[in-house]
């Protein structure tokens, strides 16, 4: 049996003349969390819709849970999805909404309370949906996606519009699901929201996959920097030259020199500056965020 929950080869989608997804290649192993990241309009929703059999690709192939995406009926009963926001009846309670969806979908209704507990809505199941916060609504959407007890969970922007606490709740929930063996494929236009829970990342830009691999490997591409500020701003240029002589390239950004160098070079820089009569007001190693690394790779301003 395949160890891959998702595998796509040259997957492409054109809307008329416009290419939404172009020759996408990536794999998602079972039991992992994969973040699907890219700016708005980069083709995430289109890809997810193809994976769920909602639209047909115009090129390429894919398999979900070992079955071709040309035959969604062979895997959809094992997939839970939340695409483009959950749709619920505002006047019904959370529990009533879930019971209704379970009945319509032919899933067991006696699991509703258990699912509400799982998404930390156990004590709010009897409140009307319209009284829920955005985070609660998203969590109810995830509970609905869990109704089929899926092996694969696909969520399109579940953290959209949430405050940091809401994002944290979703993160914890998804991590606990993955720990119990559910494969999670989650899209976001903000890498920072999902980098911490994603074992692997697929990054899209303008319909093309620009990175597909372990989050850890992306982290390894991050170049460490040392930020140094002088008491006398006129010394900045001298500091830059000191770094240059030691083989560390630097640039003056916002009144400080940013050197491309590992953190342990900070002590050497401190000594060299002192010997040159420069007093440092700040000396700190820093690692650019994955977001910065990503945008450096894509050259995207967004
Ligand atoms: P967002 O987060 O804004 O939804 P996305 O990464 O999910 O962005 P898509 O919604 O997949 O991106 O859109 C990719 C491209 O395809 C966009 O340029 C969009 O305008 C275009 N597109 C999407 N759906 C259609 C459609 N039904 N007809 C024509 N063009 C479409």
- Name the phi and psi angles at 102, rounded to 5: -65, -45
pLDDT band at residue 162 using 50, 70 and 90 as cut-offs: confident
Q: How far away, in angstroms, is 49 Cα from ligand 1 center?
A: 11
Pocket test residue of 12, 35, 44 for ligand 1, highest count of atoms within 8 A of CB: 44
Q: Of all atoms in ligand 1, which is nearest to the CA of residue 189?
A: 2
pLDDT at 161: 73
Q: Whose CA is nearest to atom 17 of ligand 1?
A: 41
Pocket residues: Cβ below 6 A from ligand 1: 15, 18, 20, 38, 40-46, 189
What's the pLDDT tens digit per position in 81-105? 998 766 899 999 999 999 999 999 8
Q: Whose CA is nearest to atom 29 of ligand 1?
A: 15
Position 251 pLDDT exceeds 70: yes
Q: Indicate if the alpha-carbon torsion angle 221, 202, 156, 19 is positive or negative.
A: positive
Position 300 pLDDT exceeds 60: no
The mean pLDDT of the chain is 89
């Amino acid at each position: 049996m395949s160890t891959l929950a998702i595998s796509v080869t040259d997957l492409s989608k054109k809307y008329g003349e416009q290419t939404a997804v172009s020759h996408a290649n990536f794999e998602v192993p079972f039991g992992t969390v994969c973040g699907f990241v890219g700016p708005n309009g980069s083709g995430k929703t289109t890809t997810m819709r193809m994976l769920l059999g909602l639209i047909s690709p115009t090129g390429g192939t894919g398999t979900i849970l070992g079955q071709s995406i040309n035959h969604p009926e062979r895997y959809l009963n094992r997939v839970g999805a939340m695409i483009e926001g959950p749709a619920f009846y505002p006047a019904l309670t959370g529990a009533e909404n879930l019971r209704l969806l379970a009945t319509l979908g032919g899933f067991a209704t006696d699991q509703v309370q258990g699912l509400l507990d799982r998404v930390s809505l156990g004590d709010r199941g009897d409140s009307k949906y319209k009284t829920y916060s955005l985070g609660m609504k998203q969590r109810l959407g995830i509970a609905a996606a869990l109704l089929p007890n899926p092996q694969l969970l696909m969520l399109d922007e579940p953290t959209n519009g949430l405050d940091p606490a809401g994002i944290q709740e979703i993160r914890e929930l998804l991590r606990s699901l993955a720990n119990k063996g559910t494969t999670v494929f989650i899209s976001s236009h903000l890498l920072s929201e999902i980098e911490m829970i994603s074992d692997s990342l697929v990054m899209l830009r303008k319909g093309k996959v620009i990175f597909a691999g372990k989050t850890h490997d992306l982290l390894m591409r991050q170049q460490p920097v040392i930020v140094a500020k002088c008491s006398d701003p006129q010394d900045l240029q001298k500091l830059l030259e000191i770094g240059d002589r030691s083989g560390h390239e630097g640039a003056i950004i916002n009144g400080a020199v940013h050197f491309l160098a590992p953190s342990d070079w900070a002590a050497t820089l401190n000594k060299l500056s002192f010997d040159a009569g420069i007093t440092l007001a700040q000396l700190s190693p820093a690692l650019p965020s994955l977001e910065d690394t990503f945008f450096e790779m894509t050259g995207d301003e967004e």
